[in-house]
Chain A
């Protein structure tokens, strides 16, 4: 998708962009930079970069040709009839209601024989081959990527290396609210893109933690639902390095339109280097849960986590969007005691809610997506922000201990 957007359509010229949009409504857009306006009109699938996408595009082109021919043929006959078989003096309408002779039966049945051939042979055989190839997820897979959809972000996990991270929309809210010029990759940019090596068959496992999402990168030609409680699978073998962008395709609630997919396809060496860097980052995060953090450190880190993970629903100032998304400012849950007297988790308390979520609502269990340090930081931040003045804090090491308690007391 990225390749379809010329570099000049960037934040530098928001006004020109608007003008082009208007200009494109005119039959001749030549008065304004027409090249860009035309380049933005794409009439077919974006450039395919996987075997499946190539096959899908070939099938699509073939089918479009077939149905265009059918359309033109059938309606040419109808238009001919409309031009010539009109009421006029001396013209008598025919009265036939069915084929009468053998020859007429032949001509009446011929279109259906052709249609049967088109359906089951011309279109059917390539389609069956493509299905079998598309569903062949297991043979000769070089690696596995696990994709977990959650409202409204994607979590990626590489089971072989243990690398795991969450990828969320990076487009600033001000761009969405038109307070700021829109960037080149408006709504199709993320904080942590997923990396995949080119030329390797990647088996992709999909699931979800809340509602059904759909993982879709148009240039890969695959689209598969992520279903809570079940694993679905598909595969990609990217043939060309590049940055590929897609979106969630199944309505999944409020921010369905704001959970993009960005894949960096890189040569294998580069992929390994990236993976090693990720491992180092995870190790650093793990060791950070051992040391004792100062409250200022927790508050600073917590503000950052809150902005990325929580502000979408609970809003930047903690005011929420009631009744679906309660306010954190003055919240009953936030203002529960941090831990019970014996240092255990308070059922339905603040820590429990952040770590384990609330069933039947979009509030998810962040124990699965956030590190000990992130959890400690964001909980501390929430208890001491938006007018909440609990004054207390929780350490990453305490979170680590609480994780051992199990998901629910």
Chain B
């Protein structure tokens, strides 16, 4: 927690020391640090859960756990990784970087900011508490429906579902407050002369994310509230016998769930051009095109939701509409890929850790995009859907896309945050281990899906044994190599070679004009953009 080792000269403002400082802080850097720390801790919590799952799947037969517990682990793994690791990490970036990048002294609504963060720990506790309670014989464990809460399975389930519903409510409120703060900050606190079309792409990516969160989280909140009343107060929203419809839940859930994918990815797409441009020593290619692509993806993301349940059955025109609208997302996405590669083209590249992660991100996220394109096809989707093919696809999107993107940003800005350089050697080792182990884990899952292995099963037929064994070995290497990441960050916080204000030779942007680490209040005098 010494990430914010402020030079003593900046103590003109009084704030309490110790724990109380972190509880009461309204400083965007403190809050950003707390978000990032929370995300890292939860990343390991979610990772441990899935390693237990992969260990169970190492061989056919039930080895370590019963199916009920297996179902709880997969669902909570997803909820933790999405809501408690990836989203807080993105919000942590926003808190730390947006004021620095747009020339603002702090976020616009600092108290809201504090509240937004401190809602997260209680939500995380609510999510995982049922595991502990079950140890003491209370209830039957955590949510066992997968992260999707599909009714009527979730109407039937135990009290773990109620815990998860309340956790999602709290996480949703926290995200909406974060989004409001980011929108207000970007709209009102830009440095003089920074027009919207001079806004850093990272801020643009987050701006679209914030609007998507505000548009879709209330729908999720509504859906899980309806679930709660179905469970306890005698309503029949999702019960056909009472005039309801189980598929209604899927529509509501994925109206949130699909934009959620872009909520997780847009901040990463936003930070990517900064990193690529810095290490190519060349200005970002196609700024305007990227801004409009962000907007287009944001708009398209709310009209494609039903491709998540093609197998539920729907009219032919609906199938065709959702297929083509989904496919058309490939156009703005291809614009981004084009711009990333065009930024590298004829640059003067070096490959420090952030650039390695950025290149790894582009290639592996490319696989996610291309397999997404085939998944959009309804006919082929009938084979891929509910199978390990989908599991592999979305891990390419959310691990290689989301988490490796976050790692890119962490390595890129860590010198700025801490004032120290991290160990480049460890960083590169971390990158190569991550990339190799990630592919070792998830390439076999594509083939498992094609061969016909359904997802979310605790035990499988013998012809799936070999690929599952390989996948488990990969997962353990992947999990263990993340310890290097944590160690590297910790060591960098504690010390290391002094980082200059402009830590990277080719880095451009307002954040590099401030010393590393930046002063307590970022831009007391706003810079003037010409």
What does the 1/0 interface line of A256-271 toward B look like (CB < 8 Å)?
1110000000000000
B359, A324: Cβ atoms closer than 8 Å: no
A176 neighbours in B (Cβ, 8 Å): 61-62, 459
Name B156's contact: one of A124, A214, A250, A360 (CB within 8 Å): A360
8 Å CB contacts to A: which residues of B142-192? Answer: 144-146, 150, 152-153, 155-156, 158
Nearest chain A residue, comparing its CB with the CB of B367: A71
Q: Is the C-beta of A330 less than 8 angstroms from some C-beta in chain B?
A: no
Nearest chain A residue, comparing its CB with the CB of B243: A229
Taking the nearest CB of chain B, how far is it from the CB of A111, in angstroms?
Answer: 6
B370, A81: Cβ atoms closer than 8 Å: no
Q: Is the C-beta of A96 less than 8 angstroms from some C-beta in chain B?
A: yes
Q: Is the C-beta of A307 less than 8 angstroms from some C-beta in chain B?
A: no
8 Å CB contacts to A: which residues of B354-396? Answer: 359, 362-363, 366-367, 370-371, 373-374, 377-380, 382-383, 385-387
B383, A45: Cβ atoms closer than 8 Å: yes
B319 neighbours in A (Cβ, 8 Å): 131, 135
A119, B459: Cβ atoms closer than 8 Å: no
Q: Is the C-beta of A199 less than 8 angstroms from some C-beta in chain B?
A: no
Nearest chain A residue, comparing its CB with the CB of B345: A81
Q: Is the C-beta of A249 less than 8 angstroms from some C-beta in chain B?
A: yes
8 Å CB contacts to B: which residues of A60-95? Answer: 60, 63-64, 67, 70-71, 74-75, 77-78, 81-82, 85-88, 91-95
Interface of B is mostly: helix
Nearest chain A residue, comparing its CB with the CB of B244: A229
A249, B461: Cβ atoms closer than 8 Å: no
Residue among B140, B319, B324, B374 with max Cβ neighbours from chain A (10 Å): B374
Name B370's contact: one of A43, A44, A70 (CB within 8 Å): A70
Nearest chain B residue, comparing its CB with the CB of A46: B452
Q: Is the C-beta of A132 less than 8 angstroms from some C-beta in chain B?
A: yes
Q: Is the C-beta of B398 less than 8 angstroms from some C-beta in chain A?
A: no
A221, B450: Cβ atoms closer than 8 Å: no
Q: Is the C-beta of A239 less than 8 angstroms from some C-beta in chain B?
A: no
Query: Considering the chains assembled together, what is the distance between the CA atoms of A402 and B55 in angstroms?
Result: 50
Query: Considering the chains assembled together, what is the distance between the CA atoms of A120 and B241 in angstroms?
Result: 41
Query: Considering the chains assembled together, what is the distance between the CA atoms of A393 and B313 in angstroms?
Result: 45
Nearest chain A residue, comparing its CB with the CB of B313: A232
A178, B63: Cβ atoms closer than 8 Å: yes
8 Å CB contacts to A: which residues of B178-219? Answer: none
Name A21's contact: one of B283, B370, B380, B469 (CB within 8 Å): B469
Residue among B245, B362, B462 with max Cβ neighbours from chain A (10 Å): B462
What does the 1/0 interface line of A325-354 toward B look like (CB < 8 Å)?
000000000000000000000000000000
Query: Considering the chains assembled together, what is the distance between the CA atoms of A116 and B240 in angstroms?
Result: 41
A188 neighbours in B (Cβ, 8 Å): 461
A230, B240: Cβ atoms closer than 8 Å: yes
Name B68's contact: one of A43, A115, A222, A324 (CB within 8 Å): A324
Report the stretch among A156-164, A179-187, A284-292, A382-390 that lies at the interface.
A179-187
Known contacts A187-B461, A257-B459; A24 and B61 CB within 8 A of each other: no
A64, B374: Cβ atoms closer than 8 Å: yes
B348, A93: Cβ atoms closer than 8 Å: yes
Taking the nearest CB of chain B, how far is it from the CB of A15, in angstroms?
Answer: 13
B288 neighbours in A (Cβ, 8 Å): 98
Q: Is the C-beta of A128 less than 8 angstroms from some C-beta in chain B?
A: yes
Q: Is the C-beta of A321 less than 8 angstroms from some C-beta in chain B?
A: yes
Total residues of chain A contacting the partner, CB 8 A: 111
Residue among B67, B286, B367 with max Cβ neighbours from chain A (10 Å): B67
B467 neighbours in A (Cβ, 8 Å): 41
B282, A93: Cβ atoms closer than 8 Å: yes
B463 neighbours in A (Cβ, 8 Å): 1, 4-5, 9, 40, 42
Q: Is the C-beta of A294 less than 8 angstroms from some C-beta in chain B?
A: no
B349, A87: Cβ atoms closer than 8 Å: yes
A251 neighbours in B (Cβ, 8 Å): 71, 145-146, 150, 153, 455-456
A131, B320: Cβ atoms closer than 8 Å: yes
B246, A228: Cβ atoms closer than 8 Å: yes
Nearest chain A residue, comparing its CB with the CB of B309: A225
Query: Considering the chains assembled together, what is the distance between the CA atoms of A135 and B363 in angstroms?
Result: 36
Known contacts A212-B150, A221-B383, A247-B454; A123 and B465 CB within 8 A of each other: no
A75 neighbours in B (Cβ, 8 Å): 363, 366
Taking the nearest CB of chain B, how far is it from the CB of A175, in angstroms?
Answer: 7
B282, A94: Cβ atoms closer than 8 Å: yes
Name A255's contact: one of B67, B245, B246, B346 (CB within 8 Å): B67
A240 neighbours in B (Cβ, 8 Å): none
Taking the nearest CB of chain A, how far is it from the CB of B371, in angstroms?
Answer: 7
Q: Is the C-beta of B285 less than 8 angstroms from some C-beta in chain A?
A: yes
B450 neighbours in A (Cβ, 8 Å): 42-45, 60
Known contacts A24-B469, A82-B344; A67 and B373 CB within 8 A of each other: yes
Name A247's contact: one of B323, B363, B457 (CB within 8 Å): B457
Q: A97-B284, A223-B385, A323-B158 are known; give 11 further A-B pairs, CB within 8 A.
A: A1-B452, A9-B463, A18-B59, A67-B371, A81-B344, A82-B359, A134-B382, A223-B382, A223-B383, A224-B382, A253-B153
Q: Chain B: residues with CB nearer than 8 A to chain A?
A: 59-63, 67-68, 71, 139-140, 144-146, 150, 152-153, 155-156, 158, 239-241, 245-247, 280-289, 309, 311-313, 316, 319-320, 323-324, 327-328, 330-331, 334-335, 337-338, 341-342, 344-351, 359, 362-363, 366-367, 370-371, 373-374, 377-380, 382-383, 385-387, 447, 450-452, 454-463, 465-467, 469-470, 473
User: Please, could you name 23 A-B residue pairs with CB atoms under 8 Å apart, sorted by A?
Assistant: A17-B462, A42-B451, A43-B447, A44-B450, A45-B383, A52-B382, A60-B383, A60-B450, A64-B374, A71-B367, A71-B370, A77-B341, A78-B363, A127-B377, A131-B378, A187-B460, A212-B150, A212-B312, A223-B385, A225-B313, A257-B454, A324-B68, A324-B140
Q: Chain A: residues with CB nearer than 8 A to chain B?
A: 1, 4-5, 9, 17-18, 20-22, 24-25, 37, 40-46, 52, 55-56, 59-60, 63-64, 67, 70-71, 74-75, 77-78, 81-82, 85-88, 91-98, 108, 111-112, 115-116, 119-120, 123-124, 126-128, 130-132, 134-135, 175-178, 182, 184-188, 210-212, 214, 216, 218, 221-225, 227-230, 232-233, 245-258, 321, 323-324, 360-362
